[in-house]
Structure 1
Amino acid sequence: MRTKADLISDVSILKRKIRAGLFSGVFLLAGSGFAQAQSPARTVISINDHWQFHKGRSSEDTLQDKWQMVQVPHTWNALDVMDDAPGYYRGVGWYKKRIAVNPSFRDRDVALYFEGAGQEAEVFINGKKAGSHKGGYTGFFIPATAYLQFDGKDNINEILVKVDNSYNENLPPLSADFTFYGGLYRDVYLVAADAVHFSFDAKGSQSVFITTPLVSAGKATIEVKGDVSNKSSALRKLSIVTVLKDKKGNQVSLQQAKLTVEPGKDASFRQQMPAVRQPRLWSPEDPFLYTLSISITDAATGEKLDELTQPVGFRWFSFDGATGFHLNGKPYKLVGASRHQDYKGLGNAVPDELARKDMQHLKKMGGNFLRVAHYPQDPSILAACDELGILTSVEIPLVNEITESEEFYRNSLDMQMEMIRQNFNHPSVVMWCHMNEILLQGRYNNDKPRQQVYLKSIEKLAQKMDSIARKTDPYRGTMIAHHGDFEKYRQAGLTAITDVVGWNLYSGWYGGKMEDFPSFLERHHRELPNKVLVVSEYGADADPRIRSFKPIKFDKSVEYTTRFHQYYIYEMLKRPFVAGAMIWNLADFNSETRGETMPHMNNKGLLTADRIAKDPYYLYQAVLTKEPFIKITSSSWIERTGIADSSTGLCVQPLQVTSNLDSVELLLNGKIIGKNAVVESLTAWSVPFADGKNKILTKGYKEGKWYSDEMDINFTMIPYSLKDERYPFRQLNVLLGADRYYIDQNRKQVWIPDQPYRAGAWGSLGGKVFKLTGNTRLPYGSDRAIAATDDDPLYQTQQTGIEQYKLDVPQGTYELTLHFAELQGGAVKGLVYNLENSARTEDSTSRIFTVLINDQPVLENFDIAKQYGVATAVSKKARIDVKDEKGITLVFKAIKGEPVLNALQVVKMD
């Protein structure tokens, strides 16, 4: 089991790499969306370093050891969301920092800018409250000038920030399948501007908004709106100068306007730029960006007072119910993924460079779309999408349910306006999203009249949000993402509100079968023909440690998930009316309340939490990339094992390859195994592996050039007969009650499925595979988190009613380890995302049994639940000397209930 010390070590190593510069550009101001505002007229200083942190309700502790030194970005939940204890700290954390402020800033307007604080923040400067913010996913300014000391020894200023991620019924999100981290988890800046400057927007934006009302291949127009603040005591006559330049720095368009601002007031301006002729259009294939500089100068002296720069991409797009999405006048299928903002060992306190790398992973996969879900994310994400050519949608964290209160509505609308204003200028953004699966958490199910009132409240809020979005930004589409209850959302009126209707569909995973998926698509197109359809979520868990040669729904195997994605993507590609396919998710992410094979993680990512590619990622590369591509999908599965054929001594196992070539050939140790046609980007061979190293080469030919991929597989052969001298017996690792393989990556060993006992070999006698009563989703075993281990799959399946286990090993000394867990009994928390898994109290199973090994009792009156509790890993070891030809026989004697065995390992010691 990995301990908290292990996790701290992982994080420390990563942070050392970041400090050492191994992640280039992490601390460059230009890498942040906010810091693009930097100019000689405006100073933007990162103040991420040397904060002190204290967790607790009060900040009054005077003992210095109550505070720890941290660097921002920081979250206090990086570790506790992964431990065995249920829940994680949701409460108050305090951050404080002392800064010296340049005395020259006395005559400037100074503010603090926080890119994000989870989820409520109060900011104090020199002991006085300077401001506050609600909402954990958008940035905010805190006016600072009136609270700062600028002169002499008194120019040392203390900033104190109270951050609170407690549950608040009036603050979205209320519930969701992700973790609500606390902390100052994004960058913090000190901003100093002239007394006359672009306003520090109350909604956290740069106060300059760029639109391109008319774009075609022949010409493009730009409109610029903005707000200017005059903090001086005199009336100011100003000139607003806006310049558009191409990548070479050539001036493309110029506009100037006069503006007069009263003392202590704000004023707005609006400019129409001269049209750009034959603009170079922005697209995922050619993400060409112009640069727009907007400056304020004193009309009398010509002095530049403030300046902002923003990227501009010329593109036009439209949505159509029959033909989907169109970009720059052509039909364009949106295919990409959603993203959560956390990273292994860091929580959501992720440096900008790692966030940008996520977008590089998506681009390399061939994706052209990112659903920024389920909340606005770090500014570096959309900046990277602009630069790389990834179209996006952005949404607020209105997930699962609402609270019917004026405060909740106000907070939701504030979040929406902050989201739109802060992300307005990104050419990559094509949609604003209001809600996600808002009817999933049912309320008032036993009071239908009251439920109708609740549904009307949701519809009213959705209508209000859509109206605001359209008024604030008439050039982009709107969307709500629904779970797969078609009739429920239509009756609630939600499918009629937005331009685009998103469906989160998991047929063949949480319920139903894969073949239900195209039927749903056709129903939407038939019954809502004028509404644009996107599949806003689809996916299946893929625990990279679990493999299966007989994959079935919910076995968590990578093989089942690969087949799932292959089926879904091709069903969508063949239907023009499906505008977009948004994979759930780009990478595995934390969801503290989840159990399953990797507790606290949602394993639907195409990448692991530390961004290692899984098989489906390569499948999408084959489907989406234009260049010839070929990849052995199980390239990370380098340690394999299996049972030798009794005659050949080899073990035949499938090996899968993904490619966009017409056919590929596979060679094993230089010998041709065969040439296969590629069907819907996949093909497979039955490969006869030998004991030891097996060199795999797969290759294909196109237009005069060979393309290939290769890997080495270390194969540990299990002899057909354990006394076969060709393969001296060494070790056997067996999973009971499962038809899947488990890869222990730390120990580099593989656990294989059990088999019925076969003379000369090994296997179980008696009993049956454990399956939860009344659960139609799980094929076998339990999805409960198992305490005291990180190898949960070893303990989540079992053989119940087992009578014997026999191993016909040769003479020698062996270490035998038996693994147990009681899988029934106690309360099981219902998870809202899982439609078939409501909260329940499982019947306790009273079982007491004795285990004998070669007639010697090793466990007597063994009561797992009583001694260790439910869903807790238990391992028992024994050493056995086999001095005859009878091998090892385990006998399970029932005293009460049925004996069980979850897994077994036998190792030859001599």
Structure 2
Amino acid sequence: MIKPAYFFVILLLALTRPAVAQQQTRLNTGWEFVRQDLGGVWEAVRPVTAGNPESVPLWEPVSLPHCFNARDAADPDVNYYQGPGWYRTQLSITNPYANGRTLLHFEGAGQKTRVFIYTTEVGSHVGGYDEWTVDITQAVADFQKTDAFKTQFKGKVPLSIRCDNSRDLEMMPSDLSDFNVYGGLYRYLNLRYEPAVSLERLAAKAEVDPAGKLGLLTLKGVFREPLPAGSAQVSVRLLDSRGQLVAKSQASITIKSGELDLGSFKVKTPRRWSPEHPDLYTVEVVVTAADQRFEQTEKVGFRNIEFVEHGPFLLNGQRLLLRGTHRHEDHAGVAAAMTEPQIRQEMRLMKSMGVNFIRLGHYQQSRIVLNLCDSLGIVVWEEIPWCRGGLGGEVYQAQGRRMLTNMVQQHYNHPAVIIWGLGNENDWPGDFPEFDKEKIRTYMKSLNDLAHQLDPARYTAIRRCDFCKDIPDVYSPSIWAGWYRGIYTDYKQVTEQEFKSVKRFLHVEWGGDSHAGRHSENPDNALAKITHGQGADERAGDASLFGGSARVSKDGDWSESYLCNLVDWHLKEQETMPWLSGTAYWPFKDFSTPVRPDNPIPYMNQKGVVERDFTPKEAFYVFQSYWTTAPMVHIYGHSWPVRWGAAGEQKMVKVYSNAAEVELFVNGKSQGVKKRDSQDFPAAGLRWLVQLNEGENTFLAVARQGKTTVQDQITQRYQTAQWGKPAKLILTKTGEANGLATIEVKLLDAQGVPCLDAVNWVRFGLVGDGVLLDDLGTSSGSRKVQAYNGRAIIRVLTNKLHSVASVASEGMETVFLSL
């Protein structure tokens, strides 16, 4: 039992202690959605009476994040939806602060958004990729006084949100872009309670000299308006990566508009941030006013960056070869609405491939991505979505300036960010009747000046706009050796020429498409058609699969085998270019695009080294073999069930590994030990010519690095029978687990011999009680797809009931399979 005196002390402490820190809740559940426009917000909130239960339109329950285009972005038969959609829910508002604020914090919504409390519009935003906040405090207070609050909504507050991704020439990004301009609440939406005095923005600038002897942390803040009169107590603590207190301060400041100094600290020999050691310090800021307490915590990193003029990139005074890739906000089954666990899985997969650099293309991305880049040690180029199309009018240009400002201010504290990107392929006309290079240059200069004004410490960059390459700090030209132009052995020569033409050079976007599961015994055949010395720049029409000059992107086989050779050559050459700052492969993962309907998976850009569902392609392991240190080994061909050739013919078996030596066993017999040499192309010398048995063959690779041994094993069949033109289809079920059946079609010639190089289009169908798992944008998740080595698979959710699957291909009889 508490004695009266103690009870009085506890009560006194409770009354005098500032209120708890602000609260935030993700609004993930309890939503309804309709993919069309309404006559007005009243249609989202009007009551449905007992005598008149009809409600048009019909709403569907959804959870956030949610994208309009979760499936139709990869539907082979339709254009993806571009238009308005509505979301609605009801909120229980219990703000703990007297005179506090109730806010809706959007981490991103596409592309134009309007927000309503009951029938009152409380905010709007244009731009699908930056964060923004709507203050709903007064609208909630007003609605809580109405009869509708008490009767119709039973004490809850109706929230309705209209998102719109309609085509609009006066908006960024252009609809000519090689990615979908998605719609919806595809990033997290948060309900926040804040005290009357709070920070809208906290800028933490962490600097250190190249030698790492002295660090300086400078803090500035902006109070959220409208501002109450008076002063506030601001206390700051700086903790190192082990949680130890490094410095602290406390001051009283007058509450006023604009950016205010909140303190600065000198830190002797700070632990420096790098990809190998991404040490992060924690900044804790507490603002106390009128017995209410606001807290904000930020992570910062001390690092020194320098792009040497006509030279490499230095991090903390030492050369760092930037080994990079790209990320689009896109995933199978959800499109842009990736959850935090999915984003974490993706970024960790990149890190496991050996990535230390990423370009976020072509728009500012979720804070979750930036936080992971900080903690995993991945250096970042982030850019605004001024992508293709030319230059619009003042509304268009104002959006670009606004998005650049938001991007820099919102991601200013992230040590991973080294470059602010100003644009991409701005030499690509089409959206406007006028294409004026001087006007584009003038606007580019204004963006460059604005970026340096907002953040003098970081670099600016653009990719592929040669008539503007002198404006930003860093320039990346178009170099697609071996894909859109030239052959991949031209890569080093072309790159060195481009390097000499600019002050600071960084090569982003290189690579090629590959149809997952398609392999080739002679992948480089298409190179014989290419005219040597034609350059390596991408030009108008090069992405087309029809017409124009010979190029691998049109005339190649789109096999994983060719992509591995292309990647292998690029990586081995990059090791011999001491002046190179770095590169970024385009992209990490296959993604949906409206401008590629004729690709082997319709509407998919297939240049990723993993599929749209995270399934690694073979090229993933080529990167690992060059970029990682943890011992790994991978035999080429895990998704290649049947090889082919003549009886007794020697076939090349390639192994990708970062180990010093590898021994290969075929059918239990050693084929000898090979030592790794990165300059011995292909596969860094880890290749063997062996005779395969007709039928099944087993392969075992044993890699040794010092006392560490790792191994990999696969089984492949070898076919010597020759085949003719595909003449018939067979459809079989190859497996079933947990109600998920896998079905496979094979293309055979008239004698029943599998056609292992067939690339015919096939179309799957299903009737009955099951569900065909299509529109996923993967080689095994599309109902219309090109065959890979005379086969294709898809999966069916059977629901443990009866269905009939079908597969059709032009010129052959449709076949059926009962499930």
TM-score range, shorter chain: 0.7 to 0.9
Residues 162-181 of structure 1 aligned to structure 2 (within 5 Å): 162-174=162-174, 175-181=176-182
Which of 439, 464, 477 is residue 503 of structure 1 equivalent to?
A: 477
Q: CA deviation at 1:416?
A: 0.8
Distance 1:214 1:412, change over 3 A: same
1:330-384 residue CA offsets vs partner (Å, 9 max, x unmatched): 0111011001111111111100111111110111111101111111111110101
Distance 1:705 1:80, change over 3 A: closer
Partners of 1:403 and 1:644 lie apart in 2 by 58
Q: Secondary structure at the match of 1:124?
A: strand
Q: CA deviation at 1:587?
A: 0.7
Q: Which residue of 1 aligns with 2:624?
A: 621
Partners of 1:136 and 1:461 lie apart in 2 by 21
Distance 1:795 1:615, change over 3 A: closer
The one-letter code of the counterpart of 1:661 is A
Q: Which residue of 2 aligns with 1:729?
A: none
Q: Secondary structure at the match of 1:222?
A: strand
Q: Which residue of 2 aligns with 1:240?
A: 234
Which of 36, 43, 47 is residue 56 of structure 1 equivalent to?
A: 36
Q: Which residue of 2 aligns with 1:569?
A: 571
The one-letter code of the counterpart of 1:128 is T
Q: CA deviation at 1:121?
A: 0.2
Residues 141-152 of structure 1 aligned to structure 2 (within 5 Å): 141-149=133-141
Distance 1:384 1:184, change over 3 A: same
Q: Does 1:480 align with 2:452?
A: no
Residues 575-590 of structure 1 aligned to structure 2 (within 5 Å): 575-590=577-592
The one-letter code of the counterpart of 1:49 is T
The one-letter code of the counterpart of 2:266 is A
Partners of 2:184 and 2:815 lie apart in 1 by 48
Q: CA deviation at 1:424?
A: 0.8
Q: CA deviation at 1:225?
A: 0.7
Which of 389, 405, 409 is residue 401 of structure 1 equivalent to?
A: 389
Q: Which residue of 2 aligns with 1:161?
A: 161
Distance 1:769 1:342, change over 3 A: closer
Partners of 2:815 and 2:190 lie apart in 1 by 60
Contact 1:230 1:236 (C-alpha < 8 Å) held by counterparts: no
Residues 638-649 of structure 1 aligned to structure 2 (within 5 Å): 639-642=641-644, 645=647
Q: Which residue of 1 aligns with 2:270?
A: 279
Q: CA deviation at 1:605?
A: 0.5
Q: Does 1:383 align with 2:374?
A: no
Contact 1:338 1:373 (C-alpha < 8 Å) held by counterparts: yes
Contact 2:634 2:657 (C-alpha < 8 Å) held by counterparts: yes
1:171-197 residue CA offsets vs partner (Å, 9 max, x unmatched): 111121111111110100011100111
Q: CA deviation at 1:769?
A: 12
Q: CA deviation at 1:700?
A: 3.0
RMSD: 3.3
Contact 1:56 1:94 (C-alpha < 8 Å) held by counterparts: yes
Which of 328, 335, 338 is residue 340 of structure 1 equivalent to?
A: 328
The one-letter code of the counterpart of 2:158 is E
Contact 1:118 1:164 (C-alpha < 8 Å) held by counterparts: yes
Contact 1:54 1:93 (C-alpha < 8 Å) held by counterparts: yes
Contact 1:116 1:137 (C-alpha < 8 Å) held by counterparts: yes
Q: CA deviation at 1:819?
A: 7.5
The one-letter code of the counterpart of 1:161 is I
The one-letter code of the counterpart of 1:367 is V
The one-letter code of the counterpart of 1:472 is L
Q: How many equivalent residue pairs?
A: 695
Q: Secondary structure at the match of 2:303?
A: coil
Q: Does 1:702 align with 2:697?
A: no
Q: Secondary structure at the match of 1:258?
A: strand
Partners of 2:594 and 2:178 lie apart in 1 by 8
Partners of 2:263 and 2:94 lie apart in 1 by 38
Which of 105, 109, 120 is residue 101 of structure 2 equivalent to?
A: 109
Partners of 2:644 and 2:461 lie apart in 1 by 49
Which of 331, 334, 356 is residue 319 of structure 2 equivalent to?
A: 331
Which of 354, 357, 364 is residue 345 of structure 2 equivalent to?
A: 357
Partners of 2:811 and 2:181 lie apart in 1 by 32
Q: Does 1:293 align with 2:284?
A: yes
Q: Does 1:467 align with 2:449?
A: yes
Q: CA deviation at 1:878?
A: 10
TM-score of the aligned structures, taking structure 1 as reference length: 0.71
Q: Which residue of 1 aligns with 2:254?
A: 260
Residues 543-692 of structure 1 aligned to structure 2 (within 5 Å): 543-552=515-524, 553=552, 554-594=556-596, 595-637=598-640, 639-642=641-644, 645=647, 653-680=651-678, 681-682=683-684, 683-690=686-693
TM-score of the aligned structures, taking structure 2 as reference length: 0.79
Q: Secondary structure at the match of 1:107?
A: coil
Partners of 1:769 and 1:314 lie apart in 2 by 53
Q: Secondary structure at the match of 1:348?
A: coil
Q: CA deviation at 1:74?
A: 0.5
Q: Does 1:93 align with 2:81?
A: no
Which of 481, 487, 496 is residue 513 of structure 1 equivalent to?
A: 487
Partners of 1:523 and 1:548 lie apart in 2 by 33
Q: Does 1:186 align with 2:187?
A: yes
Contact 1:818 1:876 (C-alpha < 8 Å) held by counterparts: no
Contact 2:721 2:753 (C-alpha < 8 Å) held by counterparts: no
Q: Which residue of 2 aligns with 1:81?
A: 73
Partners of 1:663 and 1:676 lie apart in 2 by 6
Partners of 1:510 and 1:714 lie apart in 2 by 32
Partners of 2:309 and 2:410 lie apart in 1 by 30
Q: Secondary structure at the match of 2:637?
A: coil
Q: Does 1:532 align with 2:504?
A: yes
Contact 2:21 2:293 (C-alpha < 8 Å) held by counterparts: yes
Gaps of 5+ in 1: 1-38, 200-206, 483-488, 721-731, 737-742, 771-784, 798-816, 821-872, 880-906
Contact 2:96 2:193 (C-alpha < 8 Å) held by counterparts: no
Q: CA deviation at 1:426?
A: 0.6
1:727-762 residue CA offsets vs partner (Å, 9 max, x unmatched): xxxxx79659xxxxxx9995456669x8xx9xx997
Distance 1:443 1:113, change over 3 A: closer
Q: Secondary structure at the match of 2:571?
A: helix
Q: Which residue of 2 aligns with 1:197?
A: 198
Partners of 2:670 and 2:407 lie apart in 1 by 56
Q: CA deviation at 1:122?
A: 0.6
Residues 36-47 of structure 1 aligned to structure 2 (within 5 Å): 40-47=20-27
Q: Point out which structure has higher relative CO (alpha carbons under 8 A, 6+ apart).
A: 2
Contact 2:390 2:428 (C-alpha < 8 Å) held by counterparts: no
Partners of 1:686 and 1:382 lie apart in 2 by 45
Q: Secondary structure at the match of 1:440?
A: strand
Distance 1:795 1:56, change over 3 A: farther
Distance 1:621 1:591, change over 3 A: same
1:17-55 residue CA offsets vs partner (Å, 9 max, x unmatched): xxxxxxxxxxxxxxxxxxxxxx94111111121111011
Gaps of 5+ in 2: 1-18, 45-53, 525-551, 728-733, 736-740, 761-778, 792-805
Q: Which residue of 2 aligns with 1:223?
A: 218
Which of 289, 292, 299 is residue 311 of structure 1 equivalent to?
A: 299
Q: Which residue of 2 aligns with 1:69?
A: 61
The one-letter code of the counterpart of 1:659 is S
Contact 1:322 1:576 (C-alpha < 8 Å) held by counterparts: no
The one-letter code of the counterpart of 1:191 is R
